[in-house]
Amino acid sequence: MRILHIVGTIDPKAGGVSAAIRYLVAYDSAEYDHEIVSMDDPTAPFLSRIGVPVHAFGPTSSAYAYSSKLVPWLVANRDHFDGVFVHGLWGYGSLAAWRAFRGHTPYAVFVHGMLDSYFKHAFPLKHLKKWLYWHLVEYWVLRNAYKVLFTGDVEARLAKESFWLHRWSPHVVALGTMAPEGDPEVLKEAFWSLCPQVRGRQFLLFLGRIHRKKGCDLLVDAFVKVAAENPGLDLVVAGPDQEEWQFELMTRVATAGMTDRVHWVGMLQGDAKWGAYFASEAFILPSHQENFGIAVAEALACGRPVLLSDKVNIAPDIAADGAGRMEPDTADGTLRLLEGWVQMTAEAREAMGQQALLTFVQRYTMQTNAKAITHIFETVKGASVASR
C-alpha cells in the first residue's frame, strides 16, 4: 500500500509529531510505501535524512503554512495513494487534505493532542479565535475523515471537551518508539563527549522542548530544593529553547547556587540522545499537557524509570505497571516526584528500571504499533469514502 503523510513540518526540532512520523515510516517501509508532504523549505538539510520521499512546499511566511501549490499537487497525485494521514490541526494541511481527498481517497486525522482541553483553559483568547476556524474548517475536516486517531482513551475523552460542536469517527491507537541500537556504553560515550561534567555522576534527564507547557520551571524549582540535601544528584536539560525561556530558568538556578549541578546541553540527536538516556538515573517530565510523549517511550526503551506528571496521558498506565511515578503537574507534585525518587532504595530503582523495559516491550514498541496504525486503511483499500 502507498501511504501519504501531510504535516506542517518534519523538522526534528518540532518535537513529538515529527518523531512520530519518522518512526511510522521507518517501521512499515517493508509493507508500505510512505511519502511525506510538508511545508518545509525544500533545501532544509534534515529532509534528506528522512528515508522516504518528501515533497516540501515551503517555506511560507505564515504560521498557517499556506501554499497555493498544495491542493493541486494533492489532487493530481491522489490516485497514487491508498490512504492519507493528516498530522495535526490548525494549519493549511488539514484544509488542503479535506479539499483534495473527501469523497475520493480515505484520510485519517492524527490529532496529536491538539484538541486537548488544556489549551482551552490555558489560552482562552486564542481558543476564541480557534472557534471560528473550527466552525468553518476543522469541524468538517474531522467529520469527513475516515478515522480520527487518538493515542489513548484519555486524549479521546479530553478532545470532546474542547468544542461542543463535534462529530467524528474516533479510533484509539498506541504510538511508541524504536529500541535503541548499539552498545549502551558506546552510546554513553557519545553523550559524555558533549556533557563531560556528568561523567561518573548520577543525574535526572529532561529531554524535550524548553517550553512552558513542559513544566520546566516546576522542574528547576523542585530540583534546587532537593539538590541541596542530595549533593550527588545532577539535572541534565536537553532540548531546543523554543520560547527563549532558558536564560530565565538558568537565572533561577544561579540564584540558588546550583549552576554546576544543572546542565543545559541543547537538542540531542542520534547516539548522543540514546546515550543520555542510558547514562541517566531516570527520566522526568512534569508537563502540563502531553497526549503521548515519545521521549517517555524512548526512556522506557532504555530501561529507565520515568517520573511524570498526571497530565502525561500515558502516565497512569506506566505508574500502574510500576515503571515510574506519577504526581500532579504542580510545584508540590513535582517536588514529590523528586523526593520520592531520592528516597527509593537502590533495589527499588533497579526493579523499576527492569519494569520500564518490560512496559516498553508490552506497550510501546513501534514495530508492532506502526503496523496497527497503518493497517486501518486495509479495510478501505481500493474504495472511496463518501462525504458524511
Q: What's residue 31's pLDDT? A: 77
For the chain, the structural domain boundaries read 2-176+367-380, 184-364
For residue range 93-135, what is the model confidence (pLDDT) as tens digits? 999 999 999 989 999 999 999 999 889 988 899 999 999 999 9
Rounded CA-CA distance 88/90 in Å is: 7
Has residue 183 got a pLDDT over 50?
Answer: yes
Lowest mean pLDDT among 3-12, 20-29, 179-188, 217-226: 20-29
Has residue 379 got a pLDDT over 80?
Answer: no
| Local confidence band at 385 (pLDDT 50, 70, 90 cut-offs) | very low
Q: Which of 89, 204, 179 is nearest to 137 (CA)?
A: 89
Q: Which of 29, 34, 74 is nearest to 54 (CA)?
A: 34
Rounded CA-CA distance 67/362 in Å is: 42
This prediction has a pTM of 0.91
Has residue 383 got a pLDDT over 50?
Answer: no
Average pLDDT in the 228-253 region? Answer: 95
The CATH number of 2-176+367-380 is 3.40.50.2000
Q: What's residue 387's pLDDT? A: 42
Q: H or E segment at 341?
A: helix 331-343
Q: What's residue 386's pLDDT? A: 43
Q: What is the CA radius of gyration of the chain?
A: 21
Q: Which of 76, 155, 101 is nearest to 385 (CA)?
A: 101
Pick the CATH number of 184-364 from 3.20.20.70, 3.40.50.2000, 3.40.190.10, 3.30.420.40: 3.40.50.2000
For residue range 46-82, what is the model confidence (pLDDT) as tens digits? 999 898 999 999 887 676 788 999 999 999 999 999 9
**What percentage of the chain exceeds 70 in pLDDT?**
97
Could you say which DSSP state residue 134 is in? I
For residue range 280-338, what is the model confidence (pLDDT) as tens digits? 999 999 999 999 999 999 999 999 999 999 999 999 999 999 999 999 999 999 999 99
